[in-house]
Structure formats: C-alpha cells, structure tokens
Chain A
Amino acid sequence: MTTAYAPTAGLPTRSRRASLGANAGGVYIIWYRDLLRYWRDRARLISSFGQPLLFLVVFGSGLTASLGAGLTKELGDVSYVRFIFPGIVAMAVLFTAVFSAISIVWDREFGFLREVLVAPISRAAVALGKALGGSTVAMFQGGILLILAPILGVSLNPLLVLELLGLMFLTAFALTSMGILIAARLQSMEAFQMIMNFLIMPMFFLSGAFFPLRGLPAWMSVVTRLDPVAYGVDPMRRLLLGADLAPGIEIANHHLGTVEDGLILAAFAAVMMVLAVRAFEAQE
C-alpha cells in the first residue's frame, strides 16, 4: 500500500485536521453547487424575477385603484406600490430560500442526497453549506429587485444597498435553516405542497408585506409577532421608505429597532440550524 492510498489513517491529530479540512471543503462545495445550479437554471432565474414583478404591478396597482382613498389616509403620500415594494423583496427572499432548502427533498428523490450523507463530513457541515447556499441565492434574488427602486422613486446609495443585502441574507439564512429542518423530515414532494399552503403562504401574508402591522385584531397581532418574516420586512421598509411607515414592531410597548430585528432573526436562525442538524443526524 502506498501512502497515497492511506486515507485519514495515521495520528489522531492528523485525522482531526483532515476532518476539519473535509468539513470546510464540504461546506464550500455544497454552497458552490447551489450557486451553480441556480445560475444554470435560466427558467428559474426569469420566473423568480417575473413573479415579484407581477405581484408588484397587478396587486399594487389593482389595490391602489380600488382602495385608493382609505390607503392614502394610512400611508400618507406614499403610493401602495411603494409601500409593498419591501414586502415583495422579502417575498422573493422567502420563496427562494424555502425552495432552495426544499431541493433537499429532490436530492433525496434523485439519489444525490446519499452521495452527501455517506461522505466523511459532519451533518452540521451539510446543513451549513446548504443554508449558506440557499441564503446567497435568495439574497441575489432579493437584490436584483432593488433595480426597481429608482423607478418607484426610492433613492439608493451604496451603504443602503449593503445594509439591505445584509438584512436579506440574514432573513434568508433564518428561512433556509427552517426549510432545511422541514426538508430533513419531509419524505415527498406532495407533502411539500401542504407545507407551502399552511406554513409559507401564511408566513408571507402575516409578515406585513401587504399591510401595516398596526391596529390588527388581537389574535392576528400575536401571530404576526411570531412570524420571522415580519422581522425582515419591517427593517427593510424602514431603510427604504423611512421610519414613518415602519416605526418598528411593537413588543411590550417597545418599538424594535433594526439591530433588534437582526438579533431576533439571528436567534431564530440559530435555533432552526441546531434543530436541522439534529434532524439530519437522526437519519440513517
């Protein structure tokens, strides 16, 4: 046997370093694969830009026309299309993040997941690589929509864009981690439809993307505060349209600031990540 054929055999310290290297390499290549697949799938690229645009134009214009007077009272001189713009960006982030994570179910169906699960890397590396991949793609997806900002009369500057991208990434990381947790337990694509209808759509509708989270019925008020997407929409709206329209989610008479929103997202992401890794480790 030549040395080239001795894999991690050898001193414990060496094999520990080797496994650290493999894990880092694993995180990187799983992330890279997601980017590669995203870039290669032109249909997905186009449709994921088209869908938010459709919402913005049809929903925004339609509701402005029919609810014009009532909306103006609430929103001041901001048009409804402008109001929902940050929500639509969040929508793009939400859907892309969840779809990226759910691709694990496809990987299981098509067998590729086995290649990943029998590799000598930890399940934590698998989940982290996947979460980073989904978050990066979702951040791109939300970021592209910022092209529309000037058309809607929202001025951008480099620092603002950077802040927004950071928020998008954090939101996406939280949601991809949640998606991975779901995907690790999901056995079929059919079950995913149910998750979509009963979890993801409500998360989107209750996030404040379409209406301000003020003066809501008590039960709805509670539910919206449990929705992680809300903590992404509010700071993005504040950055894009100003604090008048997004004074911060109110918890115990305190309006949350952008940093606090970020911390909540990070905490949610951390919990989801831990649960996702556990769910993966439980699989044989």
Chain B
Amino acid sequence: MSSIEVVDLVKSFGPLTAVDHVSFRVEDGEVFGFLGPNGAGKTTTINVLCTLMRPTAGRAKVAGYDVATQRNAVRQSIGLVFQDPSLDDQLTAYENLQFHAHVYNVPGRERAQRIEEVLRVVGLWDRRDAVVRTFSGGMKRRLEIARGILHHPRVLFLDEPTLGLDPQTREHVWEYILEVQRAHHITIFMTTHYMDEAEHCDRIAIIDQGKIVALDTPDALKRMVGVDIVTLQAEDSERAAREIRERHGLEPQRDGTRIRLEVEGGAEFIPKLVRDLGVAVISVDLHRPTLDDVFLKLTGRAIREGEADPLALMRLHGRLWRGGRR
C-alpha cells in the first residue's frame, strides 16, 4: 500500500508555479527524499501534503486520505518536523510533548508512557524537565522528532531537518531519524539540499523548478551519470597499463604518470587490481558519481551543497536578536 500518492499536483502563487504537475508514490515504510536547490518547490510540496496549503490542481493522498477534503484525518496520520523550530521554548521538553499529546488526542492512559518512550528514543529523557530555551539546536531538533512520532503517525514529514546544524549534530539527528524509522516502521518523507543526507534515502526524487527531473534509488541515479573512475599511480605505468589491459580487459587512459580507468563497482575492483598487478602501486583513487553530478547532468547546474537559503538565514538572525525581547 502507498503511504503517499501524488497525481498531477500543481500549486501556484499568482503567476508563479511552485509545483508543476508533479506525480509520485511513496510506499509504506520507505525513506523517501525530495532533493533540489532552494526554491525548487520542496517545501511547497510538503506544505500541500501536510494540509498547510491547498493544492491549486491535481490530487494528493497521504495515508489513504485526501489532503484537500480529509484534512483532519491526514493531520492525525502525519508527524511533522519543520525547517524552523516550532517548540514553545518557555515550556519544558515534557510539557511540549504533553501539549502535543492533547491536541493529537493521545488517550490519557497512554500519554505518560508514550512520552517517556519517545524521549528515550531521542536521548532526552534525562532532560525532560529542562526548559526548552536552554536546549542546543540539535537537542531541539531531536525533541521535535520525538514530538513528531508521539501520536504514532504513519508518515513522518521532515522539511530540511538538519538545516543550520553543525555536521556532527546532523549525523546524530540522522541516527535518531533512522532509529525511529526502524522502531516504528514509519514512512519518512524528507526534503534536503544536502547530498550526503540524501544517501540515507531508499529512493530520491530530484526536483528542479517545480518539476521532478528524476526519481530512483540513489545508486540507480548515480549510474545514470556513468561508472566509477579509478585513478592509479604505479612505479612502471607502462607495464601497469599493459597488465590491466590483458587481465581485466579494460582500456586504461594514460594521463602523465597516472592511469585512469572507467569501471563498474570501483570499490570492489580496487583490491583485485592491486592484488593482480605485477608492479608496485603508489596510490589509488576512487571517484564515484555523486548525486550532485546527477543533478548537474540533469539540469546543467550544481545544487551547491551546504548553502543555506538567504531568507532562512535572515529569519534566523532576526530571531536571535529579537530573542532577548521576548
């Protein structure tokens, strides 16, 4: 059964078409990624799917419910982690979850037990009575993930869940996300513009200017741009090239002292290559096609990893200096 079903979805803002006839399906239990540069239509798509915006045209179903006509049923079935924090930072972690449990109608007798369970999953049980204002960015994000799964949603939406976090914290947040996914068998729909994060997905849709330009597993997408490239430096490069041609049936390209090989499954090929070679190897380098290469090939532009949306940054700064006046 599909958790998400989108058919010919359009969302326009006046003359601007943010989402342009998009169709896709996400299966139960899948980790599905929406990848694309800023302004590609990722957040707009999420907002439509989680009923925060009404579609201009087309149809979308989440957990079997129509996002336009069965909004409350959709809302009850999904968890959300937004780009920007949406916690009450004057309440404690526990109180934030209590609030959530009430508005999502978690039965009274299960509340305490579920809150404890999700807080333990994200490693915040010890900090349950601390006011959220004292939390770091990563802790807040973890708390939001815990909150997102508290009402046992079938689909968890993550909109740039690691935006503005440092690399180490990003890694931790991902561990928690995947832990939650395994433990609860939840479908995860996420947007990101970090290439390395997209690698966690079972399947990825690459979106550009409101349209899906490719949709497949990360490996299949990378195969679209070509095979792995192994670059070798050996003491006697002439002999090395000859041996490679004879033993592996490859066509080595000589580039000064370096030998360039196009192979499939480069990582598995390297040990064989080094073992079989009759000359001493100085260095081996493997370049695998990245999702960035895929995007580059499909659109002619790079996504530019790690670059934050200037508007999001402005909001963040505004919030920082206004924080004191609250």
Residues of B within 8 A of A21 (CB): 105
Residues of A within 8 A of B63 (CB): 7
Contact residues of B: prevailing secondary structure: loop
Closest chain B residue to A5, Cβ basis: B152
Stretch at the interface among A118-126, A202-210, A221-229, A247-255: A118-126
Closest chain B residue to A119, Cβ basis: B103
Q: Which chain A residues (246-284) contact chain B, with CB distance < 8 Å?
A: 284
Residues of B within 8 A of A110 (CB): 85, 88-89, 319, 326
Contact A109 B104 (CB under 8 A): no
Whether B72 is near chain A, meaning CB under 8 Å from some CB there, is yes
Contact B91 A29 (CB under 8 A): no
Q: In the complex where A36-B95, A111-B85 touch, is A9 in contact with B73 (Cβ < 8 A)?
A: yes
Query: Which residue of B51, B76, B99 is within 8 Å of A8 (Cβ)?
Result: B76
Contact A106 B326 (CB under 8 A): yes
Whether B153 is near chain A, meaning CB under 8 Å from some CB there, is yes
Residues of B within 8 A of A232 (CB): none
Q: In the complex where A120-B72, A121-B103, A284-B52 touch, is A109 in contact with B322 (Cβ < 8 A)?
A: yes
Contact A117 B87 (CB under 8 A): no
Q: Which chain B residues (48-107) contact chain A, with CB distance < 8 Å?
A: 50-54, 63-64, 72-73, 75-77, 80, 82, 84-91, 95, 98-100, 102-105
State which size class the interface on A falls in: 35 or more
Contact A22 B104 (CB under 8 A): yes
Give chain B nearest CB distance to A25 CB in angstroms: 4
Residues of A within 8 A of B203 (CB): none
Give chain A nearest CB distance to B19 CB in angstroms: 14
Contact A118 B73 (CB under 8 A): no
Whether B193 is near chain A, meaning CB under 8 Å from some CB there, is no
Give chain B nearest CB distance to A109 CB in angstroms: 7
Q: In the complex where A7-B154, A118-B80, A120-B76 touch, is A111 in contact with B86 (Cβ < 8 A)?
A: yes
Closest chain A residue to B86, Cβ basis: A111
Whether B151 is near chain A, meaning CB under 8 Å from some CB there, is yes
State in angstroms the CA–CA spacing of A92 and B209 once bound together: 53
State in angstroms the CA–CA spacing of A28 and B86 once bound together: 20
Give chain A nearest CB distance to B161 CB in angstroms: 14
Contact B154 A5 (CB under 8 A): yes
Per-residue interface assignment for chain B, residues 101 to 140, with 1 indicating a CB less than 8 Å from any chain A CB and 0 otherwise: 0111100000000000000000000000000000000000
Contact A33 B152 (CB under 8 A): no
Contact A7 B152 (CB under 8 A): yes
Contact A33 B322 (CB under 8 A): no
Q: In the complex where A5-B154, A114-B82 touch, is A120 in contact with B105 (Cβ < 8 A)?
A: yes
Residues of A within 8 A of B85 (CB): 110-111
Per-residue interface assignment for chain A, residues 22 to 51, with 1 indicating a CB less than 8 Å from any chain B CB and 0 otherwise: 100110111001001100110000000000
State in angstroms the CA–CA spacing of A33 and B98 once bound together: 10
Closest chain B residue to A112, Cβ basis: B88
State in angstroms the CA–CA spacing of A37 and B88 once bound together: 10
Q: Number of B interface residues, CB 8 Å?
A: 39
State in angstroms the CA–CA spacing of A110 and B91 once bound together: 13
Contact residues of A: prevailing secondary structure: helix
Whether A15 is near chain B, meaning CB under 8 Å from some CB there, is yes
Give chain A nearest CB distance to B56 CB in angstroms: 12
Residues of B within 8 A of A18 (CB): 76, 105
Whether A115 is near chain B, meaning CB under 8 Å from some CB there, is yes
State in angstroms the CA–CA spacing of A138 and B195 once bound together: 51
Residues of B within 8 A of A33 (CB): 88, 91, 95, 99
Contact B53 A19 (CB under 8 A): no
Residues of B within 8 A of A75 (CB): none
Contact A7 B72 (CB under 8 A): no
Residues of A within 8 A of B89 (CB): 110
Q: In the complex where A4-B152, A33-B91 touch, is A26 in contact with B103 (Cβ < 8 A)?
A: yes
Whether A200 is near chain B, meaning CB under 8 Å from some CB there, is no
Give chain B nearest CB distance to A91 CB in angstroms: 23
Query: Which residue of B50, B103, B153 is within 8 Å of A25 (Cβ)?
Result: B103
Whether A116 is near chain B, meaning CB under 8 Å from some CB there, is yes
Closest chain B residue to A25, Cβ basis: B102
State in angstroms the CA–CA spacing of A28 and B33 once bound together: 37
State in angstroms the CA–CA spacing of A45 and B73 once bound together: 40
Contact A19 B153 (CB under 8 A): no
Give chain B nearest CB distance to A29 CB in angstroms: 4
Interface centre among B51, B54, B64, B73 (most CB of A within 10 A): B73
State in angstroms the CA–CA spacing of A263 and B319 once bound together: 43
Give chain B nearest CB distance to A152 CB in angstroms: 35
Give chain A nearest CB distance to B179 CB in angstroms: 17
Give chain A nearest CB distance to B30 CB in angstroms: 15
Contact B86 A114 (CB under 8 A): yes
Closest chain A residue to B85, Cβ basis: A111
Binding site for B on A (CB under 8 A): 1, 4-5, 7-9, 15, 18-19, 21-22, 25-26, 28-30, 33, 36-37, 40-41, 106-107, 109-121, 284
Instruction: Name 17 extra pairs, CB < 8 A, besides A7-B152, A22-B105, A284-B52.
Output: A4-B152, A8-B73, A9-B64, A22-B104, A33-B91, A33-B99, A37-B88, A40-B90, A110-B326, A111-B84, A111-B86, A112-B86, A112-B88, A118-B50, A118-B80, A119-B103, A120-B105
7 closest residue pairs by CB, A with B? A22-B105, A29-B102, A111-B86, A119-B103, A120-B75, A25-B102, A7-B76
Give 8 A-B contacts (CB < 8 Å), ordered by A residue.
A7-B63, A22-B105, A33-B88, A109-B319, A111-B84, A111-B85, A115-B103, A120-B73
